[in-house]
Amino acid sequence: MTASYEPGRRELYWLDRWQEWDLYRTEQDPTRPKYYCLEMFPYPSGDFHMGHARNYTIGDVLARFHRMNGYNVLHPMGYDAFGLPAENAAILRGMHPARWTWQNIEKLRYWFRRMGYSYDWEREIATCHPDYYRWTQWMFLFLHHRGLTYRARAPVNWCPQCATVLANEQVVQGGCWRCHTPVVRKELEQWFFRITAYADRLLDDLKLLDGWPERVKVMQANWIGRSEGAELRFRVEELGEDITVFTTRQDTVFGATFLVLAPEHPLVKRLAAGKPGESRVLEFIAEAARHRGEPEDGAAERPKRGLFLESYCRNPATGEDIPIWVADYVLMEYGTGAVMGVPAHDQRDFEFARQYGLPVRVVVQPPGGGLDADTMTAAYDGPGVMVNSGPFDGTPNEEGKARVTAWGQERGWARPAVQYRLRDWLVSRQRYWGAPIPIVYCERCGIVPVPEEQLPVLLPEVVDFSPRGMSPLATAPEFINTTCPTCGEPARRETDTMDTFVCSSWYYMRYVSPRYTAGPFQKEAAFYWLPVDQYTGGIEHAILHLLYSRFFTKVLYDAGLVPEPEPFRRLLTQGMVLKDGAAMSKSRGNVVEPAPIVEKYGADTARVFELFAAPPEKEIDWSDRGVEGVYRFLMRVWRLAEVRPGLFRQVPGHPEAADAAAREVRRLVHRTIKKVTEDVRDRFMLNTAVAALMEMVNGLYAYVGEDRTGGDPAVVAEALHVLVRLLAPFAPFITEEMWQLLGGEGSVHRQSWPAYDPGLVAAEQVTVVVQVDGRVRHRFQAPVDATREELEAEALAAPRVRQFLDGREVARVVTVPGKLVSIATRPAAS
RNA sequence: GCGGGCGUGGCGGAGCCGGCAGACGCGCGGGACUUAGGAUCCCGUGGGCAAAGGCCCGUGUGGGUUCAAAUCCCACCGCCCGCACCA
């Protein structure tokens, strides 16, 4: 390679210059339109590989593009720095989680800078810093004061081997991710966020998110899982109480031949008490509890197990007494933990009824009729007409739903109800490396929130990390023991920390005023910058992080603290970078390290390769060949500039259209501006934008000749002036070098984006295609503005065309000016 | 099972508001320059037939709409992702 540009060396040079010039500092400026461009911030795990780089590279191109287009761009970076791996490092290597974390942040920071990402480093944040988690605690209190937190007993995942609590994500196939010991359930007092209070709005507002991928919205809608139905009450005379069930099929209540309770349902033990089968029931409950910890995979295929409780309740529609069962296919967490068994019209109830010989009664006949309880082999859950349903016989079942609910409501046993799959958000974690929950327990005053002015509740430095089954903070007496903020008496601190998803649910707000000390963010800055215009990150956060962030934004919006109810206007979910067909990971040993790539080819090459290989949403396979191809392209670009130092100072900016070749080059240049602009701005098709630049470079080589010095200097100057700027967001280093060499003023990254001349974009001549009976038979050149008649005349006159018309006559001619003439024929009339 | 998405050369991928299929890159073949070149520049490259002009076939499979279908519609096959006893 003879090129005089050495990326490994020159990129370092430019990094220093840019730092001197403070190129990416962002200030509020109400006179300019703002553009908030954000990539999901990383967890500082210690490794940075080319798979990570893609996300930030995509975001960086968008940020740089908008900056050149006159937007005031906010493009910050930070670290999602709390989390369990840091604590494990403490346990395994005796290194303090803080030290481990800050070391890793140091590495990430190096690579972000080295890759040329245009972050405003003045705004860097880390969620584990007290100046940040102080405001995470503030958010907890903010929700608390708005009635959106509560404390309740809840089961947690518990590894008996490690004697510690595990996060849901750390339970792999029912076992501990580290020692594979089967996880058991354990009841603990936990803090919850009442996200279900926002379920409807989280669902409805998905409609506002035009700029989100459809599949993410669908995933969120499914996750929220809204179901409309009714709550029905079944009288239990024996207890003098009702059992309430939730159903979406009120229309089938006449077919309810039994009732089923979840094993954890409180009435199960009461109903069994004193009955002959009591001990078997208790055994059943215990057995079911063990199963709950098992992997859910295939749960639907597992045979349903149940037990008759020797009790009855009254079907409110028919007045019949029906048996009450307990069964493991009913979930306590959903609805009321009790369901009515309608075997004819619910597959699960059907399987259960057949297994235990319970009666089946058809109450909805499909359009053709003929459904018979004795012979049916599966439940019928389609539409039909109600039968065996007293006053409702003959009613279409869909219509019957509302009528049955109203009928039952008049009689006092039904009411309309809505259920969600979404559960409240459990935020307590029995871990050290997280934001302490700012709560104090006082014997006299009860649960007392820490007053805002006493924040942050600092994490103690010294604690015992060895796993013992409670929060490590419980081992630090100087942390636990405090005084009650209300009465001043001795009190105890909450020893759990917050789920790290709490930290990441509001970080995009902190960036608008990252050093603000009077609140989580300055309101004026929030109203200027929010919402995020462009958010880029992995699909793996399609539900959790994005749903939690939407929740936080809505709560703050309701308080008037942020301008819009949704946090992220446009969302781009980038695909993974694979190596040998699999996601890069240390354990798999297929990680592409950035250091050798960047040293050999430069960060520009790494960036452009990841952009060029496929559209951003798609996964790409790392290819050393592909990388070399991109490197060749960039060096090819460089060589165009290499032979023309100072060019921009020597020739006029606006070339006269000299000869045909010059005009063709100018057309290419302006067409490329249009293509790249639209691909980046409207379609996120960064791969085709790069392809268009390659095409342009190929065209320029043809124009300037083998020694690269030919062509009209003014035309070449215009072309290079455009090329360098179009390429700048993709390859910031080499374009800066070219810009200086060619004699540009200032930094290329402070230049405005090229504008194209629409008059130049349109070709003067076009190739018109002539089809005869659907096949291309001829093509000819014509002026772009040639009329329909002119084109038809020319097409029909062409000898090639006449040949195909021989012995046939023209049936029809369809002409699209500027494109084609299509001739349909039929056999000539004799 | 339910929901969403995708099937285009040897490979990654363009084109999909119907209008020249295969942009751009990789790989491969050829040429130029050169002591040399695994550098660089240029040309070619879906398959078949042909000396050539050209002809035929081609976007998972089968059908349909149309002057015209990779693109729209229907059925099927295959792959990927999400959810999965949610009443």
- Supply the CATH number for residue A811's domain: 3.10.20.590
The closest nt to A296, taking CA to C1', is B84
The closest nt to A247, taking CA to C1', is B87
Instruction: State, as a whole number of angstroms, the distance between the CA of A375 and the C1' of B74.
Output: 34
pLDDT for res A3:
59
CB A668 within 8 A of CB A711: no
The closest nt to A633, taking CA to C1', is B25
CATH number at A285 reads: 3.90.740.10
The closest nt to A346, taking CA to C1', is B87
Instruction: State, as a whole number of angstroms, the distance between the CA of A235 and the C1' of B16.
Output: 60
Q: Read off the pLDDT of residues A361-387 as tens digits, 9 standing for 90 and up.
A: 999 998 888 889 999 888 988 889 999
Which residue in A424, A417, A422 sits closest to A246, CA to CA? A417
Provide the positions of strand B that have an atom within 7 A of a protein CB.
3-5, 12-15, 19-21, 23-27, 37, 39-43, 55-56, 67-69, 81-87
If asked whether residues A814 and A746 sit together in one domain, one would say no
pLDDT for res A654:
74
Which residue has the least CA–C1' distance to nucleotide B37? A1
CA A264, CA A434: separation in Å to the nearest integer? 32
Instruction: State, as a whole number of angstroms, the distance between the CA of A770 and the C1' of B21.
Output: 16
Q: Which residues contact A376 (CB under 8 A, 6 or more apart)?
A: A344, A350, A360, A362
Q: Is the ipTM of this complex over 0.90?
A: yes
Phi, psi of A385 (to 5 degrees): -115, 140
For residue A554, tell me if it sits in a domain. Answer: yes
If asked whether residues A137 and A147 sit together in one domain, one would say no
Which residue has the least CA–C1' distance to nucleotide B55? A777
Strand A446-449 versus strand A481-483 pairing type: unpaired
Instruction: State, as a whole number of angstroms, the distance between the CA of A246 and the C1' of B87.
Output: 7
Q: Read off the pLDDT of residues A735-776 as tens digits, 9 standing for 90 and up.
A: 999 999 999 999 999 999 999 999 888 877 888 889 988 888
Instruction: State, as a whole number of angstroms, the distance between the CA of A715 and the C1' of B20.
Output: 30
If asked whether residues A313 and A413 sit together in one domain, one would say yes
Helix axes A660-678, A713-727, angle to 10 degrees: 10
The closest nt to A636, taking CA to C1', is B40
Q: Checking phi first, is residue A723 left (phi over 0); if not, alpha (psi -120 to 50) or beta?
A: alpha
Fill in the amino acid letter for A721.
H
Instruction: State, as a whole number of angstroms, the distance between the CA of A774 and the C1' of B21.
Output: 14
The closest nt to A690, taking CA to C1', is B24
For residue A73, tell me if it sits in a domain. Answer: yes
Radius of gyration of chain A (CA): 34
For residue A674, tell me if it sits in a domain. Answer: yes
If asked whether residues A397 and A272 sit together in one domain, one would say yes
CA A750, CA A736: separation in Å to the nearest integer? 10
- Average pLDDT of chain A is 91
If asked whether residues A75 and A148 sit together in one domain, one would say no
Strand A149-159 versus strand A164-166 pairing type: antiparallel
Q: Read off the pLDDT of residues A699-735 as tens digits, 9 standing for 90 and up.
A: 999 999 888 988 899 999 999 999 999 999 999 999 9
pLDDT for res A780:
86
For residue A214, tell me if it sits in a domain. Answer: no
Which residue has the least CA–C1' distance to nucleotide B68? A774
The closest nt to A811, taking CA to C1', is B67
Which residue has the least CA–C1' distance to nucleotide B27? A625
For residue A634, tell me if it sits in a domain. Answer: no
Instruction: State, as a whole number of angstroms, the distance between the CA of A614 and the C1' of B14.
Output: 10
Which residue has the least CA–C1' distance to nucleotide B23? A691
pLDDT for res A367:
83
Instruction: State, as a whole number of angstroms, the distance between the CA of A401 and the C1' of B81.
Output: 35
If asked whether residues A545 and A511 sit together in one domain, one would say yes
The closest nt to A778, taking CA to C1', is B20
Instruction: State, as a whole number of angstroms, the distance between the CA of A408 and the C1' of B20.
Output: 68
- DSSP string spanning A744-780? -SS-GGGSPPP---HHHHS-SEEEEEEEETTEEEEEE
Which residue has the least CA–C1' distance to nucleotide B25? A629
CA A220, CA A568: separation in Å to the nearest integer? 14
Total tally of structural domains belonging to chain A: 5
Q: Both tokens of residue A248?
A: 């979406």
If asked whether residues A326 and A284 sit together in one domain, one would say yes
Instruction: State, as a whole number of angstroms, the distance between the CA of A682 and the C1' of B72.
Output: 24
Which of A583, A601, A620 is a domain's end point?
A583
Instruction: State, as a whole number of angstroms, the distance between the CA of A418 and the C1' of B69.
Output: 46
pLDDT for res A469:
64
The closest nt to A767, taking CA to C1', is B20
Instruction: State, as a whole number of angstroms, the distance between the CA of A600 and the C1' of B4.
Output: 41
- DSSP string spanning A621-684? E--HHHHHHHHHHHHHHHHHHHT-TTHHHHS-SS----SHHHHHHHHHHHHHHHHHHHIIIII-
CATH number at A563 reads: 3.40.50.620
Domain that holds residue A325: 227-419
Which residue has the least CA–C1' distance to nucleotide B85? A300
If asked whether residues A683 and A746 sit together in one domain, one would say yes
pLDDT for res A818:
85
> What percent of the residues of chain A are helix, what percent strand, and what percent coil, each to the nearest 5?
40, 20, 40
If asked whether residues A38 and A107 sit together in one domain, one would say yes
CA A530, CA A34: separation in Å to the nearest integer? 9
Which residue has the least CA–C1' distance to nucleotide B39? A1
Instruction: State, as a whole number of angstroms, the distance between the CA of A770 and the C1' of B72.
Output: 23
Which residue has the least CA–C1' distance to nucleotide B20? A769
For residue A616, tell me if it sits in a domain. Answer: no
CB A655 within 8 A of CB A663: no
Instruction: State, as a whole number of angstroms, the distance between the CA of A318 and the C1' of B72.
Output: 52
The closest nt to A685, taking CA to C1', is B14
Which of A460, A478, A500 is a domain's end point?
A500
Q: Checking phi first, is residue A475 left (phi over 0); if not, alpha (psi -120 to 50) or beta?
A: alpha
The closest nt to A246, taking CA to C1', is B87
The closest nt to A260, taking CA to C1', is B87
Which of A368, A395, A419 is a domain's end point?
A419
Which residue in A283, A425, A306 sits closest to A354, CA to CA? A306
For residue A326, tell me if it sits in a domain. Answer: yes
Q: Both tokens of residue A583?
A: 């996601």
CATH number at A650 reads: 1.10.730.10
Contacts 24+ apart (CB under 8 A), A736-739: A736/A14, A736/A17, A737/A5, A737/A10, A737/A14, A737/A638, A738/A637, A738/A638, A738/A641
Instruction: State, as a whole number of angstroms, the distance between the CA of A46 and the C1' of B31.
Output: 51
For residue A625, tell me if it sits in a domain. Answer: no
If asked whether residues A441 and A508 sit together in one domain, one would say no
Q: What is the widest separation between alpha-carbon atoms in chain A?
A: 113
* Intervals of chain A under pLDDT 70: 1-3, 162-164, 167-174, 177-178, 292-301, 467-469, 657, 829-830
Q: SS in 3 state form for A590-634?
A: CCCCHHHHHHHCCHHHHHHHHHHCCCCCCCEECCHHHHHHHHHHH
If asked whether residues A84 and A176 sit together in one domain, one would say no
Instruction: State, as a whole number of angstroms, the distance between the CA of A691 and the C1' of B65.
Output: 35
CA A349, CA A338: separation in Å to the nearest integer? 12
If asked whether residues A438 and A396 sit together in one domain, one would say no
